[in-house]
Structure 1
Amino acid sequence: MDSLKKKEKIIHTITNTRSNESIIDFGTEQSCINPSCFFCTMKEPNSMIRRSGLASCFKEMPFRYNQALVLILSGLWNIAMTQPDDPEFPSLGVFNCMASLIQKSIVNRSWLLKDENIYIPYYAAHIIGTYTMNRVEFAERAVQSGVIPPLMDLLRGKISWVEQRVAVRALGHLASYEKTFDAVAVYEEDVVKLAMQLASTCLEVVYTNFVGVRDVKKRMKYHTDLLTRGVGGLDMESRKAEEWASQLQCWSLYLLNCFACKERSLNLICRQDFLIDLCEMWGGLVNHTSPAGVGLIRILCYSKFGRESIAESKEVVKSLCNLLRSSDDWQYIGIDCILLLLKDQDTRLKVIEVAALFLVDLVELRSLGNRSNVGQAITRALLFYYRQSKLNLKNIEVQKAMQEIWDLKVERRKREKMMPEEKVEERRVLVGLIKKQGNHTFWLGNIEEALVKYTEALDLCPLRLRKARVVLHSDRAQCHLLLGDPDAAISDLTRALCLSTPANSHGKSLWRRSQAFDIKGLAKYSLMDCIMFLNGCIKTETTKGVKIPYHAARMISKQMESTWLFANVRSKALSNRLSKVKELDGDYESCNYDREKYDEKMRTTIEKEDNFISISSLQVTITLARNFSGLSTIREEPFMGNKKGRRKMERATRRKKAVVARSMQGR
């Protein structure tokens, strides 16, 4: 009875909606004279009569003209979203009805464009995907009802990217069950190729056809209505389209995962160009729970063919290694991938010379999330064959890294186990004195000497004094940053963050590594470190108003623009605009154009092609609030808000000038 009341409430809400929030205004009368009306049938108190009437409605719906058909499907979609496990509609023929409506939309173009029927295939595919999301018995019934062929037509782009989004979602759910996978696999080559194409090109399609269209009148109206339900302006439409584009990409990868898990079509999925594309597919701030491209790469690493294909691509291996030294949520997936490649005798030699230089910084990582002894697993994978000299390491840097791991994890640990407590205490005091000397020389501007002091302190510091080593690694990294060596800084900061408890929690190291990643042009990892740094700042705040440090707000604003989902596509669009401007320059030089006509032509071209969408501070704030739930008011801290702040800034400026002066003298 509760389920029926919920359905009636949804139907009542939809049928009585006449506000501006309604996506469609049918202008129909509230009084009903149709004996087979779906809404009247839903209100029937006798369950036997109601079920019989609903079954009849589902049979007749695709073949009867009904101006309120979209309203009915909208109601069905709302019910499916709120009660996806309710067996009533699936048992009464909703899948046959939705499949027939999709097929009719594709075959009968004139019917599709009549009234509000353009919305029908979207809702029909969404209903199929929602009911098959959790229940294998619903998925079996859907397959028996013939939903796959019409869904395949939508996947092929017979209508638009909006319908592709819900079609690939539904097919992904059907392919995820053992009992229905074979029905999808009938179209295996077609499905895999289409999903790969969607994953690689959907961002460009959505940007070109929607987000990049700045004139609201030129955007597809029914896309706009589906995205925002008629509420919100251009900015809201663009943000929602960004979310849907990300979902389209992630659901395409999920569908590919279903085949990769069974080692099907790996010859297609493991194409080198697609593997490189996967590295750029990031679930990111839009879809927080999706590992996107790296998730599929890990699935591929479980198969022999997949590992060999990935090991052949230096770009993919390097991308995985960058992920290892980051605070990204999917860091552990990168570690899994590299370890799987190292454990395979046929791929070890191809990746170890790149991976060892990154993994050496993680060998002291105790736990990551719910995983324990991560550093020990990395150490075993690296040193398994090292002492037997079975690896022919030609790279001197890799040899040093492997020897460093051996000394740190084996030799030094043995020595320190025999060290008495008195000796440990002596070392602790000595390390503190040397660190103070390093700090003093650093603030005097002698960065090179400070670097030497921090290194000396690290060599003497017992391994068990993890907190002291965190600070030493972080301070030495700051020296590397000032000396223009971001790679060495990232290495030291990663070690500091691995030693911190919990991992990736030391605020200064996060901020400094964010700066180092920024110098290297690794915007995504810079952004993640900066957000983690801010998270730590927010947790330590005791006042109601949370202050965001000015420098961190600037970094986030910069990196969010660089990591925006459509950043690469926008860059291509701007390049095309510049090409057109150059063509106009050529026209102006070669032809006797009137200057006013030329300027008008230039202005018109730039206005048409200006698809730049900036990331405002408001959007940054919204994103942060979404990532860190329960925040109080967030406001940007003024750069020089009070006398104390100004004095601190003046002192820092004087120190910076001294550092620069000494650096110039050293040169």
Structure 2
Amino acid sequence: MDLNHYTKKKLNKKKTTTSSMTTDEEEESSCYDYSFCCFFCAMKEPNPRLRRSAVTTFFHEMPHRDDQSHVLVMSALWNIAMTHPEDPELPMAGALRCMSLLVTKALADPTWLLRHQNIYIPYYAAHVVGSYTIRLPALAALAVESGAVAPLIGLLRGTMTWVEQRVAVRAIGHLASYDTTFPAVLRHADELVPLAMQVASTCLDTVYKQFVGVPPAEREQYHRDLLTRGLGGTEMENRKAEEWASQLQCWCLYLLSCFAFRDKTFHDLICRDVGFLKDLCRMWGGLVNGDSPAGVGLMRILCRSEVGREAMAGCREVVTSLCDLSRSSDDWQYMGIDCLLYLIEDLNTRRGVMEAAAPCLVDLVELRSLGARRNLGDRITKALLLDFDHGVKVGTEAERTIKSLWELKMEREKREEVMPKEEVIERQALAAIKKQEGNERFWSGDVEEAIVKYTEALELCPLKRRKERLVLHSNRAQCYLLLREPDAAISDATRALALACPANGHGKSLWRRSQAYDMKGMAKESLMDCILFVNGWFHGKDCNERKRRAKVPYYAARMINKQMDKAGLFASLATSKKIKSRDGDDGAGDESEEEIGIGSGSSMSGSGLPTILEEPWLRKAKKGLDG
């Protein structure tokens, strides 16, 4: 209904009233014909009773009418639901029932979507349901009573497009979160669990093929409008599409986590698909969706059951990804550690994962805390030494690692506890001398001998001198970098970061591990370390001068740009598309990329910009080491 037409009608009606009517009569007379009314006018009605009646009538009639103004109403309702998700007024007036009917109508009659701007309505309707069910169980129960589950599943099937799938699985995930509404979702588990697994595995490829990899002029216009509302151009559209694709994947994983958390019988269904497990360990919320644990969140739940642990341990890709996550500065590092501990504490899976997990976890045994988790290093030590006394064979590398851990945490700790104070001081002084000798060897270019001296210093330095040992591990990591031994550099840098207070709080070790990960082509881990390094650059103890300069170090900016290109959600898809395109040129466009480096400490990974050290070590060696 035209707003101006309605306003004139209302004013004319007021002129015909008598001047003797009371205030209550004036309010009653402002009531209009409720058979159908303008939603916006109804929302402006100051009388709550009249407004509720008008809005209820509107929501009752809306699914049965075909009006070109519906899309404006849906946009307004979307905005209200986003900003006031706990306000029950509109849901209680029938908004959720109306949204369910509109989605059902769209699924049943595709021709209706082609009229006016109805193509936008299913997206807005599912989003409204998801927004109103995000916090209050009562509104979630109302959504179930309103018949929202079935039409949402219809959208998740892909009856329309990935844009509607995103908001549909978001809403279903909210409904699966509450005890009161989970049974309604559980009734559809046979379809929802495999469907969520499929969408999670394929959504990035789908979004790339249907949107990001398509020329702007050929993209669905309504997708472009929903993503950016016509602002920002192609670059903004691509960024938003990456964010939405990540959210679609993470919401699918969240839904699967709800099933797996509430009922362990679903663990077998999820773990039966080995291909999904391999995909799962590569699912990363990334920088665009950093508040979601993504794949590792579900893996952690699966590791709580025997079926899940056996499946995790039997998949080499999963174990490797957990090891990489455990030795990273990702916010979900503790989840990777938890998963590995579940696997090695279970005697049925311990032997299968120890060869990979032990060298990784032993670098973390001196962690005192990680966020809210206390004494994490002690738990790691206890788990690794679980069957050391029994002589159980677990693999050559694991045995060597566990033996070194026993010598460090059991024998050496006991010796130092009873060691005379004078001897402790003497050993500390000798360690300082060895460290200085190592620095001198490093400055003179004899890196191998510097490693020997730092190792001798570590053997002498008392375990309680955490700060001194941190510096020694970090300096030795720098040496391994120069010798292009990234695994050793990662191990030492990780040990230094475990000794830091807070954990992962030592800038130089972060930067050195970032370079080592770059040498190995591990873009995500390198990126996370570099970002945390830059964050410490501006917020660390010695950052006053840096704040005044207000600039990210050039070498760190180069690293971040390089790794963001490689770690992006669509990076592998874009690369494969370029390769196919190049193959189609019959070699005419073949290019060879030359590796470039700066100074002796350059890291060259074979593509993109080269990584450089903090300072070329031959020219400014003292800045390449800690004190």
TM-score class, shorter-chain normalisation, is: 0.7 to 0.9
Residue 344, structure 1, aligned to residue 346, structure 2: yes
Offset at 1:320?
Answer: 0.3
| 8 Å contact kept, 1:168–1:255 | yes
Partner of residue 265, structure 1: 266
CA offset digits 1:398-418 (Å, max 9, x no partner): 211111111111110111011
| 8 Å contact kept, 2:443–2:618 | no
CA offset digits 1:270-301 (Å, max 9, x no partner): 12111111111111101121010111100111
Residue 386, structure 1, aligned to residue 388, structure 2: yes
Residue 130, structure 1, aligned to residue 155, structure 2: no
| 8 Å contact kept, 2:393–2:399 | no
The residue identity in structure 2 corresponding to 1:141 is: L
Partner of residue 652, structure 1: 618
- Distance between the aligned counterparts of 1:462 and 1:276, measured in 2? 43
The residue identity in structure 2 corresponding to 1:184 is: V
- Distance between the aligned counterparts of 1:441 and 1:49, measured in 2? 85
| 8 Å contact kept, 1:477–1:492 | yes
CA offset digits 1:304-340 (Å, max 9, x no partner): 1111110111111111011111111111000100111
Partner of residue 141, structure 1: 142
| 8 Å contact kept, 2:75–2:124 | yes
Offset at 1:653?
Answer: 4.8
The residue identity in structure 2 corresponding to 1:447 is: V
The residue identity in structure 2 corresponding to 1:577 is: S
| 8 Å contact kept, 1:189–1:265 | no
- Distance between the aligned counterparts of 2:191 and 2:581, measured in 1? 35
Offset at 1:576?
Answer: 2.2
Residue 432, structure 1, aligned to residue 398, structure 2: no
- Distance between the aligned counterparts of 2:396 and 2:312, measured in 1? 24
Partner of residue 491, structure 1: 491
Percent identity of the aligned residues?
Answer: 56
Partner of residue 192, structure 1: 193
| 8 Å contact kept, 1:368–1:374 | yes
Residue 397, structure 1, aligned to residue 375, structure 2: no
The residue identity in structure 2 corresponding to 1:440 is: E
Partner of residue 554, structure 1: 558
| 8 Å contact kept, 1:257–1:299 | yes
Residue 61, structure 1, aligned to residue 62, structure 2: yes
- Distance between the aligned counterparts of 1:211 and 1:374, measured in 2? 42
Partner of residue 607, structure 1: none
The residue identity in structure 2 corresponding to 1:519 is: M
Partner of residue 508, structure 1: 508
CA offset digits 1:456-480 (Å, max 9, x no partner): 1111111011111011111111222
| 8 Å contact kept, 1:165–1:247 | yes
- Distance between the aligned counterparts of 1:226 and 1:484, measured in 2? 48
Partner of residue 477, structure 2: 477
Partner of residue 330, structure 1: 332
Offset at 1:31?
Answer: 3.7
Partner of residue 203, structure 1: 204
CA 464–514 in structure 1, closer or farther in 2 if over 3 Å, else same? same
- Distance between the aligned counterparts of 1:203 and 1:546, measured in 2? 36
The residue identity in structure 2 corresponding to 1:534 is: V
- Secondary structure of residue in 1 paired with 2:76: helix
Offset at 1:421?
Answer: 2.1
Name which of 561, 567, 584 aligns with 1:563.
567
CA offset digits 1:584-620 (Å, max 9, x no partner): 97xxxxxxxxxxxxxxxx99xxxxxxxxxxxxxxxxx
| 8 Å contact kept, 1:438–1:454 | yes
- Distance between the aligned counterparts of 1:340 and 1:97, measured in 2? 47
| 8 Å contact kept, 2:149–2:185 | yes
Partner of residue 243, structure 2: 243
CA 219–425 in structure 1, closer or farther in 2 if over 3 Å, else same? same
Partner of residue 663, structure 1: none
Offset at 1:254?
Answer: 0.5
Residue 84, structure 1, aligned to residue 85, structure 2: yes
| 8 Å contact kept, 1:434–1:453 | yes
The residue identity in structure 1 corresponding to 2:618 is: A
CA offset digits 1:32-82 (Å, max 9, x no partner): 369422222222222222211211111110001221111111111111111
- Secondary structure of residue in 2 paired with 1:286: helix
Partner of residue 158, structure 1: 159
Matches within 5 A, 1:620-635: none
- Secondary structure of residue in 1 paired with 2:505: coil
Partner of residue 419, structure 2: 419
| 8 Å contact kept, 1:498–1:504 | yes
Residue 278, structure 1, aligned to residue 244, structure 2: no
- Distance between the aligned counterparts of 1:217 and 1:524, measured in 2? 32
- Distance between the aligned counterparts of 1:282 and 1:455, measured in 2? 36
- Distance between the aligned counterparts of 1:457 and 1:470, measured in 2? 12
Offset at 1:145?
Answer: 1.3
| 8 Å contact kept, 1:172–1:254 | yes
Offset at 1:579?
Answer: 3.0
Matches within 5 A, 1:13-32: 30-32=4-6
- Distance between the aligned counterparts of 1:519 and 1:91, measured in 2? 58
- Secondary structure of residue in 1 paired with 2:561: helix
CA 411–109 in structure 1, closer or farther in 2 if over 3 Å, else same? same
Offset at 1:655?
Answer: 7.4
Partner of residue 599, structure 1: none
- Stretch moving more, 221-230 or 541-550: 541-550
Partner of residue 575, structure 1: 579
- Distance between the aligned counterparts of 2:174 and 2:254, measured in 1? 9
Offset at 1:241?
Answer: 1.1
Aligned residues: 567
Partner of residue 179, structure 1: 180
Which runs of 5 or more residues in structure 1 are unaligned?
Answer: 1-25, 586-601, 604-638, 640-644, 657-667
CA offset digits 1:184-228 (Å, max 9, x no partner): 1222121111111111111111111111123x2211110111111
Offset at 1:107?
Answer: 1.5
- After superposition, the CA RMSD in angstroms is 2.0
CA offset digits 1:556-584 (Å, max 9, x no partner): 111111001111111221222123223x9
| 8 Å contact kept, 2:355–2:396 | no
| 8 Å contact kept, 1:148–1:171 | yes
Normalising by structure 1, report the TM-score. Answer: 0.82
| 8 Å contact kept, 2:325–2:336 | yes
The residue identity in structure 2 corresponding to 1:580 is: G
- Distance between the aligned counterparts of 2:485 and 2:39, measured in 1? 69
Partner of residue 634, structure 1: none
- Distance between the aligned counterparts of 1:148 and 1:470, measured in 2? 54
- Distance between the aligned counterparts of 2:484 and 2:279, measured in 1? 31
- Distance between the aligned counterparts of 2:389 and 2:229, measured in 1? 65
| 8 Å contact kept, 1:445–1:655 | no
